Structure 1
Amino acid sequence: MLRIVDHLVGRGPLRICAHVPRADGPGDLTGLRVLLTADVLARVVELRGRAVLAGRTGPRVPEADALGIHPADAEGTVEEIADALGGPPAVHLTSRAYEGGGGAFVRIAQARAAGETTAEGGEALAVRLLLLDRPYHEPVAITADDVDGAGQRLARWRRAVADWAEEPSKPLRADLVRTARDGLEDSLDTAAVLRLLGELAGDQDVPAGAKFETFARLDRVLGLELTREIGKAPADGARA
């Protein structure tokens, strides 16, 4: 398994390349998962203050925009991407063994959906949440019920974050952020970050302002738009 921190050393931008496979029939989310993992990797590295340049081989994935995945800086073959990015990628993300050489590779397991689970809008970010809630190297299958549950979870968290934002600001939970950062830099452990946030949300001993700052900070990696309800009136049933 790739230890991300090993690739944070050096000067200049970190170049990465997502190798998107062709979809294996309806419901195949593997290509989307490859792009999502590359997006998370880029966010982790950028949070450390290093620029990232991203390339993509393979077909486009229309759902990527709805999931908040940043577009690639270059597309085409690995050689064309290396030329466009000013050097070869140091990290390759792929759903199968990478045989191109030149850099480390992260292997992404298959993801599949049963039924219509990738609609536009809020439901798409529920799919993002579900994929982040599983280790990227383990296969995952999601259902429409899973998406509904994840959408409700997002709604509760967003409403809670909006409520916490109304309270006096407090320092974020540095210990929790440090634990989350260590997991992200070691193995992109977004599932552990989500568990930490779930525990923090229910911790009555932590001030609301500290919860807000911690959620907002970690959402810079998760990309779930957890702060987007700030300043809005709560919808019926949206409160935690």
Structure 2
Amino acid sequence: MLRIIDARTGEPVDASTTRRGLTCVEAHAPALDLTALRVLLVADVLVRALELGGTPVWGLLSGDRDRAELREAAAALGIRPFEDRHDAGAGLGERQVIHVVGEGGANPDGVRVAVARVSGGLGVPVGDGFAGPVRGDSGMPVGHGPGMPESGGLRVPVGDGSRAPLGDDPAVLRLALLSRPRSVPARVDDTALSEARDTLARWRRAVADWARHPSRPVPEEVRGQLRTAWEDDLDIPSVLGVLRRVEGAPGLPDGARFETYAYADRLLALDLTRDLGAPA
């Protein structure tokens, strides 16, 4: 069963009710910035982990500003839609409520999952442009200004005050954020994004190649390691560590590697099977 460290008490709590009742995951994102996107990402992965464990989940979004922009930016990162908090009714039967909050943000009653800040700045694409100004830790808009284009997709700092396009794969940012423990401040910079981009490209090529071999079940030991990692306070860096070990494990059938990555991607949502069927 998934257990989460309650930021109020420092103690682990069950993320679902004892009778598998409804669990509400409420993401507190007061305005569109990188930390708010990380809060939404943590909430999204928490919802996925609960669903994989058979728990019915209700996702809610709480915030006063930039709601439409937050939704569109979240969608670009593969985050599934959350309902507006003010539209939610009294709930259905027994329920557990887990609040996902950013550092220095809301302090609601109940179980709280704390998310550390993200530094760096980038514009998040919506349609042909940006989802409004994305704000860094200073609260100032980033990704816009004299000489900055109004479109072109995700843009990241390059060290001289300008921002270069990330490309057309927002999963790079998703992996960069997932690679750090949520309680540790994260920085979106060239190094983090380059590492995430290279890892995604390598894993997708490998998954496409493994898919050409006969399928084999996920080894029970590996399945147990994955579930132990994400059920222990949603430890996603450890989940990624299991995948790295599977990637190079000697003697493991390629069909089992494929099924392992496909299974883990139900949680990670990195589109690891995207290149299936592509020319070798």
TM-score, normalised with respect to structure 2: 0.73
Q: Count the aligned residue pairs.
A: 224
Is structure 2 residue 58 aligned with structure 1 residue 53? yes
Unaligned residue ranges in structure 1 (runs of 5+)? 235-240
Give the alignment of 1:63-212 within 5 angstroms.
63-72=73-82, 74-77=83-86, 80-81=87-88, 83=89, 85-86=91-92, 90-95=97-102, 96=104, 98-101=106-109, 103-114=110-121, 116-117=155-156, 119=166, 121-122=168-169, 124-212=170-258
Q: CA deviation at 1:119?
A: 4.9
Relative to total residues, which structure has the larger helix share, 1 or 2? Answer: 1
Q: Is the 8 A contact 1:133 1:190 kept in 2?
A: yes
Distance in structure 2 (CA, Å) of the matches to 1:91 and 1:111: 21
Is structure 2 residue 39 aligned with structure 1 residue 34? yes
The 1:185–1:4 alpha-carbon spacing in structure 2 relative to 1, beyond 3 Å, is farther
Distance in structure 2 (CA, Å) of the matches to 1:92 and 1:228: 32
Q: Which entry has the higher C-alpha Rg, 1 or 2?
A: 2
Distance in structure 2 (CA, Å) of the matches to 1:8 and 1:160: 39
Amino acid at match of 2:52: L
Q: SS where residue 167 of structure 1 aligns?
A: coil
Distance in structure 1 (CA, Å) of the matches to 2:14 and 2:212: 36
Distance in structure 1 (CA, Å) of the matches to 2:255 and 2:231: 26
Q: CA deviation at 1:184?
A: 1.0
Distance in structure 1 (CA, Å) of the matches to 2:53 and 2:186: 29
Let me know the Cα RMSD of the aligned residues: 2.2
Query: Which shifted more, 158-167 or 90-99?
Result: 90-99
Q: SS where residue 90 of structure 1 aligns?
A: strand
Relative to total residues, which structure has the larger strand share, 1 or 2? Answer: 2
Distance in structure 2 (CA, Å) of the matches to 1:98 and 1:76: 14
Q: CA deviation at 1:148?
A: 2.6
Q: Is the 8 A contact 1:18 1:35 kept in 2?
A: yes
Q: Using the aligned pairs only, state the percent identity.
A: 37
Amino acid at match of 1:39: D
Q: Is the 8 A contact 1:92 1:106 kept in 2?
A: yes
Amino acid at match of 1:12: G
Query: Which shifted more, 177-186 or 159-168?
Result: 177-186
Query: Which shifted more, 110-119 or 89-98?
Result: 110-119
Report Cα offsets for 1:31-76 as digits up to 9, x if no partner.
Answer: 000000000000000001122110001143232111100010x214
Is structure 2 residue 279 aligned with structure 1 residue 233? yes
TM-score, normalised with respect to structure 1: 0.85
Q: Is the 8 A contact 1:5 1:186 kept in 2?
A: no
Q: CA deviation at 1:85?
A: 4.4
The 1:133–1:176 alpha-carbon spacing in structure 2 relative to 1, beyond 3 Å, is same
Query: Which shifted more, 110-119 or 199-208?
Result: 110-119
The 1:159–1:19 alpha-carbon spacing in structure 2 relative to 1, beyond 3 Å, is same
The 1:184–1:5 alpha-carbon spacing in structure 2 relative to 1, beyond 3 Å, is farther
